[in-house]
Structure 1
C-alpha cells in the first residue's frame, strides 16, 4: 500500500465528474420509473425500445456502486497522500468529510420531514405513507412509523441500516451510512499499515475489527467494493505504452461493465454488485491510462459537466421524498401506474426536470457552499489552536 500521489485534472476529472452526474441522474430516473410507471410485464405490447429503456432505467442500484468506486478512489488517494507526506490530521480530515456530508444532509432531512408530514396529512387515504399501498416495489415499509425523532437523530449519526431504518421516505439514505463508516474505517486501516510501532498496529487493527463488527455484515462486505477505487490506484500505469492497447482495454472494460449490469437477476445480489464494481474499476483504470495528464479542449464543456456534478450529491439526497409526495398526489386523483405512452412519458420527463431544477436550487444554498464552510471552520479551528498555544 504505497502508491497514490495522483491529482485528477483535465480529461480525467471531466470523465469522473460526468460519471458522478450520470449515476445520480440514473438513480433519479430509475425511481421515477418505479414509482410512476407500470412494470414491464404490465406494459401493453412493449416494443424493443421500451424493453431496452426499462432495462437501462432499472439500474439505479448499480449506479450507487459507481458512486462507491469513485468515492473509494478520491478518499483513499487523499488519505494515502497525507500519510505519505506526514501531513495527516484526523481533525482536518473529519472536518472536511463532515462538512461535505452535513451541508446537504441536514437540509435534506428537514425537507424530507416537511414533505412527509404534509403528504401524510393530505394523502393518508392512499396508504402510501403507511406502507399499505398496492404497489410495494420500493415503498414496502411504513414511512409514518419511520418518522420519529429517534430515527431522525440516528440518521444524523449514520446509524441507518445498523441500529435503525432510514428516516421517513428517504430510502436512498441507506448508502450514506455505508459511505460514512468507510470514511472512518479506511484511514484506520491505512494508519495500521504505515505505523512503525507494533503496538499501534495491534490497537488500530483491533479498532478496525470492532468497527466492522459494529457496522454489520452487509456494510462490511460492501467495503470491499468501495476499496476497489483504491486498488485501481495501486495498479501500475506506466507499463502499457501502446494507445491501441489502452483503447482495446477500455472497450473490453466497457463490455464487461454492460454484461455485469443484469447479473443481479441471475446470481446473488452481492456477487453481482462485486462484478459491477470490478468492471467499473477497470473503466476507471483505463481512463487513467488514456487521459491522465491530458487537458480538456473545450473549457465550456468541462465547466458545464462540473456544474452538473456539483449538485449530484444534493440530487441524490433530496429527490426521493419529492417523488414520493408526487406519487401520493397522483394516487389521490385515482391515478395508478402509467403506461409508457407518449403522454405519460412526457409527464415523467417533466417530473425529472422539476426535480433536477429543485435540487439545483437547493444546492445553491448547500452543496455549492461546501468549500466556503470548510475554509471558515478550518480557519476558526487553527485560530483557536493558536490561541490555546499562546495561553499555554
Structure 2
C-alpha cells in the first residue's frame, strides 16, 4: 500500500521542533551573541539558526492548518464533517501528551525548587536566561492554572503552567481547531435555523474570548488549510513540478525565515506563516528521496509534539540545579555538553512518546466505539493525526 505520509512535511515538522529545543538550550547554556565580542561565520550561523525557535512555531501553525484544517475544510465542503469524531480525535491527540507533560512539569519544578531553595525558579535569573522563569512571584503551580492549561486557556485566562513556557502555543492550536471548523460548518452544514443561530452565537462568544494576537496568527492556520485544499485539487500541479518553481519556493521559505528573524514582530511572524503555507503544496508535491530520509523524517515528526511539550521543564531543572547562573562561551568542551543535552532531551521525548503519544490511535479507537458510523473518507493529502 502506498504511504499517505508527506515526508518533506514530516521533515519540516521535526526540524521545527528541533529548532525550538536548540534555541532554548543555547539560550540557557551560551552567552548572548552581543556578548561574544567577536564571532566567525560558523558561530554566527549557529546563533542565527538557534535563534529561530519562535519562527518555528509559525511553521507549526501552517503545518497544522494544512494537515488538520485541510481535512476539516474538505469534510465540510463534502458534508462529511462529524463534530463528535473531530473533537474526540483532536482532544485525544492533544491530551495524551498534555496530561503527562503537565504532571512532569509539576514534578521537575517541585524537585528543582526543593534542591535550589527556589533560586532561579523565583525569576532572579530572568535577565540572564531570557527563556527561563521570570516572574518574581515564583512559578504558577496552582490547581486553577493546571486546569486552565488542561483546557487550553493559557495566555487567555491563566499563564502557562510552571516552567513550561512553550505551552503558550497549545492554546492557539486548540482554538484554531474550534473556530475555523465551526465557521465552515455554519456555512456548509445542512442544519436547521435554530442550530445555525446557536452555533453562530457560540462562535461569537469564542471570538470575544480570544485575544487579537491569537486570532491574527490564526490567519496562518487558515492559509495552511487553503493550501491543503489547493494541493488536494491539484491546483497548479503541473506548474509546481518545474524544478525552477521548486527551487524558488525553497529559497522563498528560507528567505522568509531569515527576514522574520531580522524584523521581529507580529507582522513579520504573520508574513512568515503565510509564506510557509504557500510553500507547503510545493513541498508536498516533491518526490520522496528514499527510505532512509523517510525514516528520519517520520521519526522526527512522530516525537515532535512530545519533544515540544516536555523539553523545557527538563532543561530548566538541569540548568538551575547544576549550572546557573553561569553561561559560557563556545568551546569544544561546551559544544560537547550542548550536544549531549540535546540528545538527552530527544531521548527523553522519545521515551515519553513510546509510553504515551504512540498510543493515540489505540485510545481514540477505544473511545470512539459508540460514536455514529464514521463518515466516508475524503482522499488523503497527509496524515492529520501527525499535527
Q: TM-score, normalised to structure 1's length?
A: 0.87
Q: CA deviation at 1:92?
A: 1.1
Q: How does 1:1-392 map to 2 (within 5 A)?
A: 9=3, 13-124=6-117, 127-133=119-125, 134-139=127-132, 140-142=134-136, 144-195=138-189, 199=193, 202-235=197-230, 237-239=234-236, 241=238, 246-264=242-260, 267=263, 269-288=265-284, 290-291=285-286, 296=288, 298-331=290-323, 336-381=326-371
Q: CA deviation at 1:17?
A: 0.8
Q: Report if the CA contact (8 A) 2:73-2:225 is conserved.
A: no
Q: CA deviation at 1:36?
A: 1.1
Measure, in 1, the Cα distance between the counterparts of 2:317 and 2:368: 38
Divergent runs of 4+, >6 A: none
Q: Report if the CA contact (8 A) 1:24-1:63 is conserved.
A: yes
Measure, in 2, the Cα distance between the counterparts of 1:187 and 1:73: 13
Q: Report if the CA contact (8 A) 1:120-1:144 is conserved.
A: no
Q: Report if the CA contact (8 A) 1:104-1:367 is conserved.
A: yes
Measure, in 2, the Cα distance between the counterparts of 1:349 and 1:150: 37
Measure, in 1, the Cα distance between the counterparts of 2:240 and 2:75: 32
* 1:301-346 deviation line (CA, Å, top 9, x unaligned): 42342122111110000000001011102335xx600111111011
Q: CA deviation at 1:380?
A: 4.8
Q: 1:382 to 1:239 in 2, by over 3 A?
A: closer
Q: CA deviation at 1:286?
A: 1.5
Q: Report if the CA contact (8 A) 1:330-1:336 is conserved.
A: no
Q: 1:265 to 1:56 in 2, by over 3 A?
A: closer
Q: 1:214 to 1:355 in 2, by over 3 A?
A: same
Gaps of 5+ in 2: 374-387
For this pair of structures, how many residues does the alignment match? 367
Which range moves more in the overlay, 85-94 or 220-229? 85-94
Which range moves more in the overlay, 153-162 or 85-94? 85-94
**Aligned Cα RMSD in Å?**
2.4
Measure, in 2, the Cα distance between the counterparts of 1:166 and 1:79: 28
Larger Cα-atom Rg: 1
Q: Report if the CA contact (8 A) 2:176-2:218 is conserved.
A: yes
